[in-house]
Structures are given as structure tokens and as C-alpha cells.
A and B are shown apart, each in its own frame.
Chain A
Amino acid sequence: MTPPEYTYPDGALAFPHRGLTGIAGLAPHEIWFLLDEAEQWVEMNRGAQKRRELLSGLTIINAFFENSTRTLLSFEIAGKRLGADVVNMAVANSSVKKGETLIDTAMTLNSMRADAIVIRHASSGAVQLIADKVDCPVLNAGDGQHEHPTQALLDALTIRHAKRAFNGLRVTICGDILHSRVARSNILCLNALGADVRVCAPPALMPADIERMSVTVFHDFDAALKGADVVMMLRLQMERMEGQFIPSPREYRHLYGLTLDRLAKAEPDALVMHPGPMNRGVEIDSNVADHLDRSLITRQVEMGVAIRMACLDVLTRKSRKLEGWA
């Protein structure tokens, strides 16, 4: 496979967006630009010196209205490695719990003169709502079941490192597609880059008309795995389920758990991904998740920091008055 060529214009035209609320609305070359920008940070993060004072003096607020460990940590490390002052807003102790509206919280953060706000919220569209009300760039760290753009970008970067080319690459996404913002952002991102995307889930966990997002729909995991180059597993989002969607985790594993035997039905060099957190023994077996040659799961976490550094850098270039961006 030969890598597809994406060229992009100089300066701000390469990424002419105020914030990053979703993959929807991004052109393929804009995605590619962010991936290219992240490479330098992959490099730097692997060295001993992991800090560059690019965003020195800037304040980044991580406002997480929904619990998160890895994404919050990833954004915090990304901001700090670029020299920014990073503040995490712990919602458990905030006025949100006292009945303050989301807009009021957003206006408060805005008045504190943040240079970028990273937001996670349990409601789809909440990040866009805030982005429309504040003056600084807003990064979506996951909104409800809508989008999780940095996850899709880090997944694309991980795949690019492992597979080099996206054109014709068969990616199977299996799991709770219905409740997954990761699935939606990945479908948009992988399709934009030319991959062939399949989704697999029982009907109750498959969103209506998902095929309209240019994916092939499977309910049979074995069929979905046949010929797959990448297998992306998703967790069952029990916390978002109202009513019963599957009989039991054991039953779910019986049909949709990625075991070594199942993985053998994919391409011989198929790679395994998972956005985390994993439910070992449910959607993925430990010997698959920890497979040194096949699992990219720890690599995804590594790429996450680099992608978030790239996004923070690119989105603050205007306020930092970088040449060609101000």
C-alpha cells in the first residue's frame, strides 16, 4: 500500500477552525494536517526531555462534567508538556452540582480568560453549546453519544504508524455502537481518510440508519471479522443504558467477545484496538488485549498525548499571533 498524498495550504488555511467540536465538518487534508503536526510530539515524548515552552503563559481549563481518568490525564499532560498552565475543573465540587446551568459555568470559565477550554459532557451537543458562548477555542473531549474527535484522531495516528495507508483498509468496529461517541467520530474520520469501515453489534446496540454514514452493518461478528485489517473493540456502556439491551455480559461475550480464536478469522496481521477502559473477559480477552504483536492498545494511549498536544498547539496559534495564523 502506498500512502495517500494529502497536501494542505500554509498557515491558518491548513486548519481554519476556531475549535475542535467534532470530526464532522473537517476535510480529509485537515485531519491529515493534525496527524502530521502530532508526529513531532510523538518524537519528543519518546525522548528524555518532554517539555517545550510553546504555550508558556497560556491557561488551559479542562472542564470535565463527566468522569474521566485517561482522557483528562492525557489532556493535562499534553498541556503541561507544551508549557501551559493547566487547570482541571472537578465537577464533583463545582457549582454545577448546586444547580448552575451549563451556560453560566461556561460564561464563568470565559471570564477567567482561558486560552483554551477542553470539555467533556454527558449530553450530545453540550460542547457546541459552550463553544458558541465563549471567546476561546473549545476542544471536545467527548459529548454524550455524539463525538470524541481527539480519540478518532489518535486512533488514526496509531493506525498510520502501524499500517501506513488508509485507502482500502478494512476496519471493523465492534461493540456498543449505539452509545458510542468514539464509534461516530471514528466512522467519520476513517471514512474521510479512505478506509472501508464495518460496524458490528446486536440490533439493540446499533443506531438507526447507521449505514447512511457509509459503513457496512454486521450483526455476526465472525462475518464482520473476515478480511479485517484492524479490529476496534468498544466497551458496553452500561451507564448509558436505560432498560435491558443484552441478556448478560457472559452472553454478550459469547457472541461479540474478541478471543484469540475469533481474531484468527481476521487478516493474519490484523491489529486490535480499544479506546479503553476495557472490560477484560467481556468484549476482549486478556490474551488478545495484551498480545505484543497484535494489540495497539497501549500505543493508542501514547498517541493520545501527541494528538492532544497538536490540537492545543494548532488551536492556540491565532491567540499566540503565530505568523500566518494571527
Chain B
Amino acid sequence: MSMHAPLTITGGRGLLADGTIAAGAVRCEGGFITAIGSDVTPRDGDIVHDAGGALVTPGLVDIGVFAIDKPAFHFGGITRAALMPDQNPPLDVSARVRFAAQSGKPDFWVHPLAAATQGLDGKALAEIAMMRDAGARAVSTGRRWIGDSGTMLRLLQYTGMLGMVVIAHAEDAGIVGNAVATAGEMATRLGLPCAPAQAEAIAIARDIALADMAGAAIHFRNVTTAAGLDLVRTAKARGVQVTAGVSPAYFMLSDLAIGAFRTFTHLSPALRSEADRNAVVAAIADGTIDIVASGHDPRGPEDKRLPFADSAPGMSGAETLLPLTLTLVRDGAIDMDRAFALLAGNPARLLGVNAGRLAVGTEADIAVIDPERPWIVNADKMAASAGNTPFDRQPVQGRVLALFKGGTAVRAR
């Protein structure tokens, strides 16, 4: 519970839970939104924030980050993040989950993802129910795919019983091997170890079949290929409890970006072809993709200033999550309401948290943003603990002006 005075954000255009944008004020008390509307006014003793005509939105909920990097999250308008279990040591016992769940408070909430298997090695199931009761909101296979189909089936049967979603990495590890690029002309010219993009569809096909069999929910953290998206689309139509996410890199970039061996473009999964990039945009537009997430993974020179194949995968993505998603709005692929469903509403629903919407009774995680404000991404001057972004020097639009967690300002400028 917030110990601070009530807050009223005035003079904004609110992106409301019903999808409309309406001028008015939002009042928060005790950490929750208590009133929204054109007739809402601050009461005596309220802290008043004048949004100055800017857009008032729910704070972003980021599924699947690899580090807790508050300055970057706050810059990006992110108020909650689901932390991948790939920590050192991994989040595979309840004590570590409980610690991680407390690590961001009060101005940032971390929702730890429980490791599906002990040590994330894909073999023995971890103590998932104990981790759930310690605060884990979902289960994750981590950066890796569980190769043994029997283990994956038993995992899904168990999480289905517990009512937890499994967040899976969708790449057949046997096909991927030590690949750092997607098979194609670019990887061939660069001589990089590469694997066919179909490794994703093969993994998704198996995992959908297993989830269907177990009656369990599965979420693919990154679906990046046309074939993989087709499988998700079909399974959804059949009523399988499947959802899909993607990071902006996969709708912004193709494997052309890995030319010149730029390790900031070394991601997992590897960047795909231009045709797959277009398929991701289409799948965001048609609802096949439910969630856009940063995959925030800040990596310093010790991990990135190496030959491409020797470097660690991952990008620092928290600060560019919002503006890159807004490019889809400007291009007409989606509208603003859908953008925030992808960034806040759907991820909050996946985690089962009372946030991600601007509605009375939800937690007062609120961002005030200027969706048009232009700025230039600068890898050297990022708020993140490392500036490993493939979008360095790229002009973008959309900036967070103020951010409130539980009705308390965490960042205002």
C-alpha cells in the first residue's frame, strides 16, 4: 500500500480500457486507480500532475527480461517485468524466487518466472508449486528448449494442474546447435554457423501438440517466422491455450542487419529473413501475436566486443520497446489501443496481475507519454546498464514524460 498522498493526473488524454481515448483526469488513492473521467478533479491534499495534453496510458508490462535494470525500465515506461529464470544461479528454488520478487520494490515490480527444470538443464522438473507460492507468476524454459518430449509433456501436465502458463523458447536445439545466424545468403557470405529458420516451427509444432494433450497453457516468448506464426494461428483457431510474443527487433530488422559482423545484432533467436519480418508485422496486425516484449538483456563489451559467433546473444531493449512498437501505429498496422494491449494489457493478463489497463480498481501503474516526440537512440548514452542496441543512431518517435508506480511518481521530467 502506498503511504503517499493521493495523486490526480489532470489535463491528459486517457487511453481507456474500452479502447477509446478521452480527455480527462485520473485519480489514484492507496495505490489504485479510484476514478477516471472528464468530471474527475483533484481533491484537497492530492498531488497533482498536469499531463499537458499528453497521452495517459497504463505502465508497460514486459514479459521475459534477463536483468533488473530499473533506469532503463523507467525510461521505457515499464512498471513491471517478468524476470527470466536464467540468472546466476537460476531461479529454480523458492528462496531465489522470493528474493527476486522483492528486488524491484517499491518503484518497480519484478515478477519472477520459475525455472521449469532444475538448473534449466531440461531434465528434472523444478519445485514449481513452491516457487509459485513464493511469488512466481509463470514458468519458463529459459533461453533453452526442452529437448526431451516426455519431460516437456510432464511439465505441461503439471503446470496445467497448477494453473500456470509455460513460457517457452521455441527453437529445436538439435537443429540449432551452435548456430548464431539464420541459414540464408547473409550467413553464408559471412561464414557464420547458422541453422534453418524451420527450427522454430518444428519446436512450436511439438509444443502445441503437447500443450493440447496436457490441456495446459503455453506462451512462446518469441515467434519470429511465418511458419511458426501459422502454427500458432491455426492452434488458436482450434482453441488450444497458446499465445505468442515477439521483440521489436523481429519486426524492425532482418538478417541483413548482421552484415559487418555487428554483435549488437546477435540475438536469440537469430534475426530472420525479410519475408519472416513481414510475417511478424502481419501477425501483430491480425492478432496472432499477443505480446510485444523487450527481451531486455544488457551486455557489456566483455560479452559483445568479440567475434560474432563468440559473443553473447541479446540486446538492451527496454528503452526502445515503446517507440519501436509505436512505429507499427504510425505505419497503420495497428491502432494505439492495440499497441497497449500488446505492451501492457495482454502481458498483465498472462501474468494474472491487476494492471496493464487504465480502469478503476486496477493498480495505479501509469505512464504519461508523448507518442510523437522524436529522439535518436544513442548506444553510448542509454539509461540501461549497457547500450547493446542494434538501433543505435536510429531516429524514433515516442517518449515517456512521466511514470507512476502504484500512484507514486518514479520519473517525471
Residues of A within 8 A of B (CB): 24, 101-103, 121, 123-126, 128-129, 143-147, 181, 184, 207-210, 212-213, 242-243
| Complex A-B: 11 CB contacts under 8 Å | A125-B192, A125-B261, A125-B309, A128-B260, A129-B306, A145-B191, A145-B193, A184-B191, A209-B183, A209-B185, A212-B188
- A135 and B190 alpha carbons, distance in the complex (Å): 24
User: For the complex, what is the distance from the CA of A83 to the CA of B309, rounded to whole Å?
Assistant: 37
Task: Determine how close the nearest CB of chain A comes to the CB of B305; give it in whole angstroms.
Answer: 5
Once A184-B191, A208-B196, A243-B177 are accepted as A-B contacts, the answer to whether A123 and B185 lie under 8 Å apart by CB is no
CB-CB nearest in chain B for A184: B191
Other-chain residue from B194, B302, B310 in contact with A123 (beta carbon distance below 8 A): B310
B187 to chain A, nearest CB (A): 7
Residues of B within 8 A of A144 (CB): 191-192, 307, 309
- Assembled-state Cα–Cα distance A147/B189 (Å): 9
Does B308 make an interface contact (CB < 8 A)?
yes
A-B contact count (CB 8 A): 76
Whole-angstrom distance between the Cβ of A52 and the nearest chain B Cβ: 35
| Contact present for B178 and A242 (CB under 8 Å) | yes
Q: Note all chain B residues with C-beta closer than 8 A to A124.
A: 190-192, 261, 307-309
- Asked if B188 and A210 make an inter-chain contact with CB atoms under 8 angstroms apart, the answer reads yes
Asked if A123 and B309 sit within 8 Å, CB to CB, the answer is yes
Other-chain residue from A121, A126, A208, A243 in contact with B188 (beta carbon distance below 8 A): A208
Contact with A along B153-165 (1 / 0, CB 8 A): 0000000000000
Residue of A nearest to B261 (CB): A125
User: Which residues does chain A contribute within 8 Å of B301, judged by CB atoms?
Assistant: 103
- CB-CB under 8 A from A210, the residues of chain B are 188
Residues of B contacting A143 in the complex (Cβ-Cβ under 8 angstroms): 191, 307
Residues of the A chain whose Cβ atoms lie less than 8 Å from the Cβ of B196: 208
Distance between Cα atoms of A123 and B191 in the complex (Å): 9
A102-B307, A125-B307, A213-B185 known; A242 and B177 CB under 8 Å? yes
Complex Cα–Cα for A172 and B190 (A)? 21
User: Which chain B residue has the least Cβ–Cβ distance from A207?
Assistant: B188
Contacts of A181 in B (CB 8 A): 191
A239 to B: closest C-beta gap in Å: 14
In the assembled complex, how far is the CB of residue A245 from the closest CB belonging to chain B, in whole angstroms? Answer: 12
Q: Is B106 an interface residue (CB 8 A)?
A: no
Q: Does B287 contact A (CB under 8 A)?
A: no
The answer to whether A123 touches B307, judged by C-beta atoms less than 8 angstroms apart, is yes
How many B residues face the partner with a CB closer than 8 A?
24
Check B307–A213 contact: CB distance below 8 A.
no
Residues of B within 8 A of A121 (CB): 307
A212 interface neighbour in B185, B193, B305, Cβ under 8 Å? B185
Q: What's the minimum C-beta distance from B217 to chain A, rounded to whole angstroms? A: 34
What residues of chain B lie closer than 8 Å to A145, measured between beta carbons?
191-193
| B-chain residues with CB within 8 Å of residue A125 when the two chains form the complex | 190, 192, 261, 307-309
Q: Besides the contacts A128-B261, A213-B189, what 13 more A-B pairs have beta carbons closer than 8 Å?
A: A123-B309, A124-B307, A124-B309, A144-B191, A144-B192, A147-B191, A181-B191, A184-B188, A207-B187, A208-B194, A210-B188, A212-B188, A213-B188
Query: How far, in Å, is A242 (CB) from chain B's closest CB?
Result: 6
- Distance of B102 from chain A, by nearest CB (Å): 35
Given contacts A124-B261, A128-B261, contact A208 B309 (CB under 8 A): no
Q: A residues within 8 A CB of B309?
A: 123-125, 144
Say whether B184 faces chain A, with CB atoms less than 8 Å apart.
Answer: yes
Q: Which 9 residue pairs of A and B lie closest in terms of their CB atoms, listed nearest first?
A: A125-B261, A123-B307, A145-B191, A146-B191, A208-B183, A126-B307, A207-B188, A212-B185, A124-B191
Distance of A123 Cα from B181 Cα, bound (Å): 14
Query: A40 CB to closest chain B CB, in angstroms?
Result: 32
Binary contact readout B30-60 vs A (1 if CB under 8 angstroms, 0 otherwise): 0000000000000000000000000000000
Q: How many angstroms between the C-alpha atoms of A243 and B308 in the bound complex?
A: 21
Residues of A close to B308: CB separation below 8 A: 123-125
User: Which listed residue, A146, A147, A209, touches B184 by the CB 8 Å rule?
Assistant: A209
| Residues 292-320 (chain B) with a chain A CB within 8 angstroms | 301-302, 305-310
* CA of A212 to CA of B192, assembled, Å: 16
Taking CB atoms, residues of chain B closer than 8 Å to A128 are 260-261
Residue numbers in A under 8 Å from B310 (CB-CB): 123, 126
Q: How far is the CA of A142 from the CA of B14 in the complex (A)?
A: 59
B151 vs chain A, min Cβ distance (A): 22
Cα A209 to Cα B255 in complex, Å, equals 13
A30 to B87, CA, bound (A): 51
